[in-house]
Structure 1
Amino acid sequence: MDIWADIKNTFKYGSVLTRLIYINLGVFLVIKLLGVLFYLGGQQLHLVEWLSVPSNLQVLLHRFWTPVTYMFLHEGFLHLLFNVLGLYWFGKLFLYHFEGEKLLSVYIMGGLSGALMYVLAYNIFPVFSSVNGILLGASASIIAILVAVAVYDPQREIYLFFIGRFPLKYVALFYVLLSVIGISTSNPGGNLAHLGGAAWGWFYISQLKRGKDHGAGIVTFIGKVGSWFKSKQRMKVTFKQQAPPRDDHEYNRQQNLKQDEINRILDKIAKSGYESLTKKEKEILFKQGK
């Protein structure tokens, strides 16, 4: 079973939402496997601490990468499970209205806003003066996505188990109020980060309605960073572009050839199963699925 190839194809041809979920799952798995190796070696793994946002400003200056890394980091399985489910549900609602690039920008900027709110609160309010905490998890980014889609489509109804259908605006309001109450009862740092993410979700959509996309810059930056890693591959690989059809007859011929290839692959799956496909055949199916 070529599981790794299937995962790479799903990540490569999947949506932004799929990739975000894969990154969160992958980071969790890598850290847990490293934890096992360190445990067997009689050592303690400090990677989670080095990837989480510290409340201490001096420590933060030396770990300047943490406002980005923390939003993909989960230490417990249930923490990961609930955040991945929330990301999937609310991400799907967001993608009903917007393209994947906007989802990515809200996730990243919502997470950064959550980290900012957390650090500011822990260095302003006296109750946190003697506390050295760390922040991790994707919940601030997820709350940002939820609030963003709720502000854009407040009357959209979603189904809640054991309760029934509720307008999305009330679901978002419930999570925001729960975060406010939770500041003084449990996990104050996480709940403060939720409020930072919620603030960005509201701000982003309110500005987008005025024609201003304040998340476009971060998407452009990520695209440029990604192009650096692809540059070497472009130098090694050449692509032969298929000439456009000269007339309707040629166009129909090309379409029939594509359909024949798909039918052949489907017949192969019916006879021998999905695992019998070659890597190229699987890629053709993924592209066709898009």
Structure 2
Amino acid sequence: MNKTLFEDLKYKVLRSGNPVFFYIGVNTLIFIVTALIGVGIFLSGNSTAGFNAFIREYVAFPVSLSKLPMRFYTILTYQFFHDGLFHLLFNMLWLYWLGQIFLDFLKPRQFHFVYLGGGVAGALFFMLAYHIFPVFQGSLAQANIIGSSAAVMAIVVATATLVPDFSIRMLFLGDVKLKYLAIAYVVLDVIGVASSNAGGSFAHLGGAFLGFIYIKALGKGSDWSNIFKRTPKAPKMKVNKNENYKRNASSKASTVAQAEVDAILDKISKSGYDKLSREEKETLFKASKH
């Protein structure tokens, strides 16, 4: 049973092709490993403060420009470490809820771009804000950020920008449209700039900005995620048996269906999900099941 569970998790995270499961799996695995190391340090009679400081020093993204040449990699690593269980839990829940909606309308490649790009944009917003505003001058030497919040915020805002009138049911609030949810989070982060977690708030805003402008650019026909697109290899010409006719017919039908789905997705990016006809919604729903 345990083997079956492990194989199921391994498939979902590494082989399913679903980036939501991949990022949840990677973030959770890293958190568990670092937490277990901390437990081992604690049981050995030593303080975990040194280990936590090590993570912050070598994994978190620093605002200090003097540290960046040696910590350049942290613009990616900071996105996969978390400062506590609840920090991880809330980020992964939002990533799961909104990420699934994102993938109902867009491609995994686009999800990867928005997630990673949102994290990068969040780090840059954080760094720029701390160097621009005088109030943060005293924190430049030691300030840093850690967590996937900026990347998750990019997914949330990108999804809300793509299908703003799509509703999700929330505890105590009932059905809430994504556009109102995204606006509420952005407003809270703007207010949070004056709090003790100002760096995190700036990072969230950077992720939100990336998610918003990506969808707007996509609506104008510019897909920035094409930088992740693989160049297809030339197919090998091999003909045998009479099955080729069936395969060609199936391939043509698949091509027509994909073209229809792509046309619907283009319509969503330009006009929104609510502008689809019932037939178009049914076509998109059926395609998402395959």
- Same fold per TM (> 0.5)? yes
1:123-164 Cα deviation digits (max 9, x unpaired): 111111011211011111111111111111111112121112
Is residue 2:185 matched to residue 1:175?
yes
1:78-133 Cα deviation digits (max 9, x unpaired): 10000000100110111111011111110000000000000111111111101121
Is residue 2:61 matched to residue 1:53?
yes
- 1:151-162 to 2 correspondence within 5 Å? 151-162=161-172
Cross-structure match for 1:104: 112
Question: Cα distance, 1:165 vs. partner?
Answer: 1.3
Query: Aligned equivalents of 1:28 and 1:107: distance in 2?
Result: 18
Query: Aligned equivalents of 1:12 and 1:120: distance in 2?
Result: 35
- Flag the 1:244–1:181 CA change in 2: closer, same or farther, 3 A: farther
Question: Cα distance, 1:56 vs. partner?
Answer: 1.0
The sequence identity of aligned pairs, in percent, is 38
Give structure 2 stretches of 5+ with no counterpart: 232-238, 248-288
CA contact (8 A) 1:31 1:47 kept: no
Task: Please state whether the residue corresponding to 2:211 is helix, strand or coil.
Answer: helix
Query: Aligned equivalents of 1:159 and 1:95: distance in 2?
Result: 18
- 1:267-286 to 2 correspondence within 5 Å? none
CA contact (8 A) 1:48 1:75 kept: no
One-letter amino acid of the counterpart of residue 35, structure 2: K
Is residue 2:124 matched to residue 1:116?
yes
Cross-structure match for 2:15: 13
CA contact (8 A) 2:56 2:144 kept: no
Is residue 2:33 matched to residue 1:30?
yes
Q: Please provide the CA RMSD for this pair.
A: 2.5
Give structure 1 stretches of 5+ with no counterpart: 225-242, 252-288
Task: Please state whether the residue corresponding to 1:184 is helix, strand or coil.
Answer: coil
Q: Give the alignment's TM-score, normalised by structure 2.
A: 0.74
Q: Count residues with an aligned counterpart.
A: 233
Give the one of 170, 180, 185 matched to 2:195: 185
CA contact (8 A) 1:52 1:135 kept: yes
Query: Aligned equivalents of 1:71 and 1:120: distance in 2?
Result: 18
